[in-house]
Amino acid sequence: MSQINLNSLKSLVIFKTLYETGTATRTAKDLSITQSGVSRSLAQLEENIGMPLFIRHKKRLVAMPEADELYSEILALLGNLEEMKHSIVALREFGASRMRLAAVPGLGFAFVPKIIAAVLQINPSYNIYFDIMPSSEVVRAVESGHFDAGFVTLPVNSQTLIVDKICEVEAVSLIPLNHSLASKDIITIEDLQDQHLVIPNQPNLAADQLLMQIAQNNIRISGKTEANIAAICSLVANGVGISLINPITAYDLAALDRVVIKPFKPAFNYSFGLVYKRNWSGNQLIKLLKENLPDIPA
Amino acid sequence: MSQINLNSLKSLVIFKTLYETGTATRTAKDLSITQSGVSRSLAQLEENIGMPLFIRHKKRLVAMPEADELYSEILALLGNLEEMKHSIVALREFGASRMRLAAVPGLGFAFVPKIIAAVLQINPSYNIYFDIMPSSEVVRAVESGHFDAGFVTLPVNSQTLIVDKICEVEAVSLIPLNHSLASKDIITIEDLQDQHLVIPNQPNLAADQLLMQIAQNNIRISGKTEANIAAICSLVANGVGISLINPITAYDLAALDRVVIKPFKPAFNYSFGLVYKRNWSGNQLIKLLKENLPDIPA
DNA sequence: ACAGAATCATGACTAAATATCATCAACTAA
DNA sequence: TTAGTTGATGATATTTAGTCATGATTCTGT
């Protein structure tokens, strides 16, 4: 096969139009070029593919049967090209359309689902895959390429990932509605004296800090229940004890007719972040995620 | 949709290779261009489609998720292009691959089928549609575009068609094996005195000439049978009379164990031709038809 | 039959797109 | 540190694609 040189899509478009209109002059008008350009383009195409496509008869271009067959091939190719252009426009408008998302449980129950809902509201054609896992596993999952981005509890240590802090909140206390502390405006660490604590059973920075402070301030708690974060609100609502968790999870999960949420002093900070591989930086979907963070309860 | 300018397939090939190899340097080597060319091509492609495809990180090009999706699109497009190149090569080698052929009955029973067989021997992938009809209808069928080419009895009058004479033969006489004339080497017009003639019932130049000559030479025939050319040989073989037909049909249809074929004087010439529309001139298949004419019996 | 309009091809020229060379800055790995 | 990568970029050359002006035919309508 002596090499066929088809770098120029224009010559194919010109051929197609010429085949359809039948004359070079008309083609030139349609494509806003000159007749001589059409004539040259055709001559060069014929030269390139090594065979005549039109016979010149009485100053007219008459399509040869070879042109018939080539025409349908070119139709398919140019159709394919148009499809690709549409895809490109979609890509440019909406970015890559598939994203595998992971989130830490504290954000996974409502915070991230809200984000996903908002993004899909904007463009329903995105494909999202979402799972919940501990922060360290989120990092591993994104690093390994099994997920594209993840919501984590900060800090994380990863050389390869980009980490964007998305919010910083102060822990709030969660108190059963009929509890003696429920009427206070602010809960302090001293209020925890002789209380039963309900805290997350997974590695949790704020819980660790809290326990440390309790020890430092010589406060004696009556006992503690460690539970999955998803169960904490329910435990509090049923009067097991009081809890200290991040306000996002608190507002997401709390049965507000059975518990109250109160500020806590001293403040324990939670930071949450979005992590993703470097090649996702600048991606439209990442941008959308960051632009659609739900309001954080005051 | 701000217009996307994809005239240059080269930039797509460069993108594809870059995506596959991962580095511009390697891509340049693979494609036998320079690294700067690759860099420029990518920059220009990104400019064209209006979004970045690779992020530049520590002097490396890292594919963004948008590039993933574009890559599969481009794979499809370039695959399509390769297919088209193959088609073009096939077209160049073998010409257009479908031909609707018509032929006059005298050639349609064996002469043209032999040609078709020879051509298909050379390239079995041709698609042939073949029918038999009178010469004038062959011309009309080709002129109207229902058929691409036709074998006709010359002369034909058509302004629009190209007519190539393919052979000229002299009529021969067809004589029953046990007939009194069967032993003569050459049959002359005088031999027809008091004979029963079997002649084609369709408009036939040679038959007309023969009847005219008979009248001019004051020869009285005992009678005549006009029949479809396909039946003439059989009629002669069964002793109905003697016939004068073109040697091609004669040798194609004659039951040579029951009839003899003899030269006839004076000579009546038959000319056969191939007709086709102008846009088929130069076509490979037309060329092949003309190159594979069967031997004409002496 | 003839004038005028329309067809495509082509030489000479120009503009635009592509690629190159040489070099730089950033990074990697010995 | 040093030698060897990487990709980007300014200046330049080359190749490609298009224009203009013109010519040779052919068609069309009077």
Return per-residue pLDDT of chain A as tens, 298 residues.
557 778 788 999 999 999 999 999 999 999 999 999 999 999 999 999 989 999 998 888 999 989 988 998 898 888 888 888 888 888 888 787 788 888 898 888 888 888 888 888 888 888 888 888 888 889 988 888 888 899 999 888 887 888 999 999 988 999 998 888 888 999 999 898 988 888 888 777 777 888 888 888 888 888 888 888 888 888 888 888 899 888 888 888 877 788 899 999 888 888 899 999 888 888 888 888 899 998 876 6
H-state helical runs in chain B: 9-21, 24-31, 35-49, 65-94, 105-108, 111-122, 135-143, 205-216, 229-237, 247-253, 284-291
DSSP state of B295: P
Interchain proximity B87–A70, CB inside 8 Å = yes
Contact in structure between B243 and B197 (CB atoms under 8 Å): yes
Q: Whole-angstrom Cα distance, residue B251 to residue B253?
A: 6
Structure tokens at A6: 């088809």
Alpha-carbon separation of residue B111 from A88, A295, B228, B250, B252 (angstroms): 57, 88, 17, 11, 7
Answer whether residue B117 shows pLDDT above 90.
Answer: no
Q: Which of A156, A107, A168, A158 is nearest to A132 (CA)?
A: A107
A47 min Cα distance to partner chain B (Å): 12
Residue A55 in contact with partner chain B when CB distance is under 8 A = yes
Residue A160 in contact with partner chain B when CB distance is under 8 A = no
Q: What is the pLDDT of residues B213-250, one digit of tens each?
A: 888 888 888 888 888 888 888 888 888 888 888 888 88
Contact in structure between A126 and A149 (CB atoms under 8 Å): no
Q: Whole-angstrom Cα distance, residue B61 to residue B21?
A: 11
DSSP state of B245: E
Quickly give A8 CA vs C14 C1' distance in Å: 20
H-state helical runs in A95-228: 105-108, 111-122, 135-143, 205-216
Interchain proximity A65–B281, CB inside 8 Å = no
In the three-class reduction of DSSP (H, G, I as helix; E, B as strand; rest coil), residue B180 is classed as: helix
Residue B148 in contact with partner chain A when CB distance is under 8 A = yes
Q: Which of B94, B109, B242, B135 is nearest to B181 (CA)?
A: B242
Contact in structure between B172 and B262 (CB atoms under 8 Å): yes
Query: Which residue, counting CA atoms, is nearest to the C1' of nucleotide D21?
Result: A36
Q: Which of A131, A124, A77, A79 is nearest to A100 (CA)?
A: A131
Q: What is the pLDDT of residues A216-244, one digit of tens each?
A: 888 888 888 888 888 888 888 888 889 98
Q: Whole-angstrom Cα distance, residue A269 to residue B256?
A: 111
Q: Whole-angstrom Cα distance, residue A95 to residue A288?
A: 10
Interchain proximity B80–A80, CB inside 8 Å = yes
Q: Whole-angstrom Cα distance, residue A3 to residue B94?
A: 17
- Domains of chain A by range and CATH? 9-94 (1.10.10.10), 98-168+271-291 (3.40.190.10), 172-267 (3.40.190.10)
Quickly give A163 CA vs C27 C1' distance in Å: 22
Q: Whole-angstrom Cα distance, residue B126 to residue B33?
A: 40
Amino acid letter, residue B286: I
Confidence of residue B18 (pLDDT cuts 50, 70, 90): very high
Measured between CB atoms, which of B9, B54, B55 is closest to A6? Answer: B9
Q: What is the pLDDT of residues B202-216, one digit of tens each?
A: 777 777 888 888 888
Interchain proximity B280–A64, CB inside 8 Å = yes
Q: Whole-angstrom Cα distance, residue A15 to residue A42?
A: 7
Interchain proximity A66–B1, CB inside 8 Å = no
What is the b/e burial string over B138-148, where b = at least 16 CB atoms within 10 angstroms of the residue's CB? Answer: bbbbbbeeebb
A272 min Cα distance to partner chain B (Å): 24
Quickly give B43 CA vs D11 C1' distance in Å: 18
Q: Which residue has the tokens 């302090």?
A: A188
* Mean of the per-residue pLDDT values of chain B: 86
Q: Whole-angstrom Cα distance, residue A2 to residue A146?
A: 45
A278 min Cα distance to partner chain B (Å): 8
Structure tokens at A167: 């919010």
Residue B47 in contact with partner chain A when CB distance is under 8 A = no
DSSP string, B50-63: TS-SEEEETTEEEE
Nearest CA in chain B to A5: B85
Q: Which residue has the tokens 């009895």?
A: B153
Which residues of chain A make contact with B83, given a CB cutoff of 8 A? Answer: 73
Stretch B160-184: mean pLDDT, rounded?
88
| A–B interface: beta-carbon pairs under 8 A | 137
pLDDT for res B29: 92
Strand partners, B168: B271
Interchain proximity A65–B96, CB inside 8 Å = yes
Q: Whole-angstrom Cα distance, residue A62 to residue B234?
A: 46
State the greatest distance between any 2 C-alpha atoms of chain B, in Å, as a whole number: 108
Interchain proximity A6–B84, CB inside 8 Å = yes
What is the b/e burial string over B52-74, where b = at least 16 CB atoms within 10 angstroms of the residue's CB? Answer: bbbbeeeeebbbbbbbebbbebb
DSSP state of B8: B
Measured between CB atoms, which of B69, B86, B91 is closest to A70? Answer: B91
B72 min Cα distance to partner chain A (Å): 10
Count Cα neighbours of B272 within 13 Å in the Cβ-side half-sphere.
23
Alpha-carbon separation of residue A47 from A17, A52, A53, B92 (angstroms): 18, 8, 10, 12
From chain A residues 267-286, the ones with a CB under 8 A of any chain B CB are 278-283, 285
Measured between CB atoms, which of B7, B88, B278 is closest to A49? Answer: B88
Distance, CA of B78 to chain centre = 32
3-state SS record for chain A: CCCCCCCEHHHHHHHHHHHHHCCHHHHHHHHCCCHHHHHHHHHHHHHHHCCCCEEEECCEEEECHHHHHHHHHHHHHHHHHHHHHHHHHHHHHHCCCEEEEEECHHHHCCHHHHHHHHHHHHCCCCEEEEEECCHHHHHHHHHCCCCCEEEEEECCCCCCEEEEEEEEEECEEEEECCCHHHHCCCEEHHHHCCCEEEEECCCCHHHHHHHHHHHHCCCCCCEEEEECHHHHHHHHHCCCCEEEECHHHHHHHCCCCCEEEEEEECCCEEEEEEEEEHHHCCCHHHHHHHHCCCCCCC
A236 min Cα distance to partner chain B (Å): 44
Interchain proximity B279–A55, CB inside 8 Å = yes
Strands B242-245 and B172-176: antiparallel
Residue A65 in contact with partner chain B when CB distance is under 8 A = yes
Q: What is the pLDDT of residues B37-96, one digit of tens each?
A: 999 999 999 998 889 999 998 888 989 988 988 888 888 888 888 888 888 888 888 787
Residue A49 in contact with partner chain B when CB distance is under 8 A = yes
pLDDT for res A39: 94
User: H or E element: which one contains B196?
Assistant: strand B196-200
Q: Whole-angstrom Cα distance, residue A116 to residue A174?
A: 27
Percent of chain B scored above 70 by pLDDT?
Answer: 98
Quickly give A58 CA vs C8 C1' distance in Å: 9
